């Protein structure tokens, strides 16, 4: 008897995997697409071209360009004028009241003003133009404060020039004009053309004077090359061009040992180091020779 159930059928032979051949056109198109240069041109160049074309087309009209610029300017202004950026106060540190007043007067804009409008380097340069100011630091601080930190020049010496009495600092730079000598009686005086060029030397000479200091009336620059020390009682010490400090020390030592300046001497001439000379007072009146004493 035959079985009614059919035996299990073998799996139908699978049809060969379909891989249809591409057409010539498709093949060429795919090869073109796989060309790196073409691909880059299409993926980068084309959008770039599109964007620049659109932007260029929009901006080709002059009216649109102007409107765009005006919009941009408005935007900029509205940001600049925000309260966060406004400067309302100027604080000045380290300046004496007259200098502070001068600085306030020099500020080119009226406060309050946006910090974008402040040209701090230019303002700083203007402040440093003031003679009394050695240097200035400017900073816009939180809270809309323009902080100006000033370092003033310290007057160390008075210079009696053609224009009057001027205060100089240690480098010889002018600080201010002094109307009254007694206002700064603590400062020594120098005089003569070119004295301001040699303030450092003058200070060294004065420091070397030691016990003679109370008698010094001032220093006079002679011929823009050497110093004369003028004492009270019309006495003068003529210092050499070179090594004036040593010469001054020598005079101070002589004075201490021999009371040189206490005597009736008009001039101590140390211009020639090897041949110090003194002139007695009243010799001009006598008008005689033998007025010089050859040194010790």
Partner 1 sequence: MRDLYQAQRAMRAMRRAALQRGVVAVLDVGSSKIACLVLRFEAEVPREDGLGALAGQSQFRVIGAATTRARGMRFGEVDAMQETERAIRTAVQAAQKMAQTRVDHVIACFSGARPRSYGLAGDVQILDGQVSEQDVARVLAACDVPDFGPGREVLHAHPVNFAIDHRSGFTDPRGHVGNRLATDMHLLTIDTQAVQNLIYCIRRCDLEIAGFASSAYVSGLSSLVEDEQELGAACIDIGGGSTGISVFIKKHMIFAETIRLGGDHVTLDISKGLQVPLATAERMKTIHGGVQATGMDDREMIEIGGDSGDWEKDRRRVSRTELIGIMRPRVEEIFEEARAILDAAGFDQLPSQQIVLTGGGSQIPGLDLLAARILGQSVRLGRPLRVQGLPQVATGAPFSATVGLCLFAANPQDEWWDFEIPAERYPARSLRRAVKWFKDNW
Positions touching partner 1 (CB under 8 A) are 6-10, 12-17, 19-22, 24, 26-28, 30-31, 34-36
Residue 45 C-beta: closest distance to partner 1, Å: 18
- What is the three-state SS of 63-75? HHHHHHHHHHHHH
Q: Judged by CB, which is closer to partner 1: 20, or 62?
A: 20
Q: CA 80, CA 86: separation in Å to the nearest integer?
A: 8
CA 188-245-199 angle, to 5 degrees, is 40
Q: Judged by CB, which is closer to partner 1: 13, or 62?
A: 13
Q: Judged by CB, which is closer to partner 1: 18, or 162?
A: 18
Q: Judged by CB, which is closer to partner 1: 27, or 58?
A: 27
Residue 48 C-beta: closest distance to partner 1, Å: 23
Q: CA 147, CA 90: separation in Å to the nearest integer?
A: 6
Residue 13 C-beta: closest distance to partner 1, Å: 5
How many Cα atoms occupy the beta-carbon half-sphere of 220 within 13 Å?
11
Q: Judged by CB, which is closer to partner 1: 32, or 109?
A: 32
Q: Judged by CB, which is closer to partner 1: 36, or 62?
A: 36
Q: Judged by CB, which is closer to partner 1: 30, or 119?
A: 30
Residue 42 C-beta: closest distance to partner 1, Å: 14
Residue 119 C-beta: closest distance to partner 1, Å: 57
Query: 144 to each of 77, 102, 125, 135, 141, how far by Cα in Å?
Result: 18, 21, 21, 23, 6
Residue 9 C-beta: closest distance to partner 1, Å: 7
Residue 1 C-beta: closest distance to partner 1, Å: 16
Which candidate, 269, 168, 252, places its Cα nearest to that of 206?
Answer: 252
């Amino acid at each position: 008897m035959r079985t009614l159930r059919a035996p299990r059928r073998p799996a139908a032979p699978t049809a060969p995997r379909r891989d249809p051949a591409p057409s010539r056109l498709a093949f060429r198109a795919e090869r073109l697409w796989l060309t790196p240069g073409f691909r880059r041109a299409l993926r980068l160049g084309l959008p770039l071209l599109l964007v620049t074309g659109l932007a260029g087309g929009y901006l080709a009209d002059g009216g649109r360009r102007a409107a765009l610029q005006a919009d941009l300017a408005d935007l900029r202004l509205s940001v600049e004028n925000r309260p966060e950026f406004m400067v309302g106060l100027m604080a000045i540190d380290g300046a004496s009241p007259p200098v502070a007043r001068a600085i306030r007067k020099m500020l080119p804009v009226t406060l309050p003003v946006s910090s974008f409008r402040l040209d701090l380097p230019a303002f700083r340069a203007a402040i440093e133009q003031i003679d009394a100011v050695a240097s200035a630091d400017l900073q816009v601080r939180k809270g809309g404060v323009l902080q100006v930190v000033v370092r003033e020049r310290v007057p160390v010496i008075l210079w009696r020039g053609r224009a009057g009495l001027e205060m100089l600092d240690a480098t010889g730079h002018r600080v201010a004009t002094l109307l009254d000598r007694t206002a700064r009686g603590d400062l020594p005086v120098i005089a003569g053309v070119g004295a301001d060029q040699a303030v450092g030397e003058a200070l060294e000479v004065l420091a070397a004077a030691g016990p003679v200091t109370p008698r010094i009336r001032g220093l006079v620059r002679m011929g823009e090359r050497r110093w004369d020390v003028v004492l009270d009682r019309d006495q003068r010490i003529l210092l050499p061009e070179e090594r004036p400090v040593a010469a001054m020390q020598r005079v101070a030592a002589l004075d201490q040992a021999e009371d040189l300046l206490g005597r009736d001497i008009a001039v101590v001439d140390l211009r020639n180091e090897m041949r110090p000379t003194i002139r007695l007072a009243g010799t001009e009146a006598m008008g005689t020779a033998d007025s010089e004493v050859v040194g010790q």
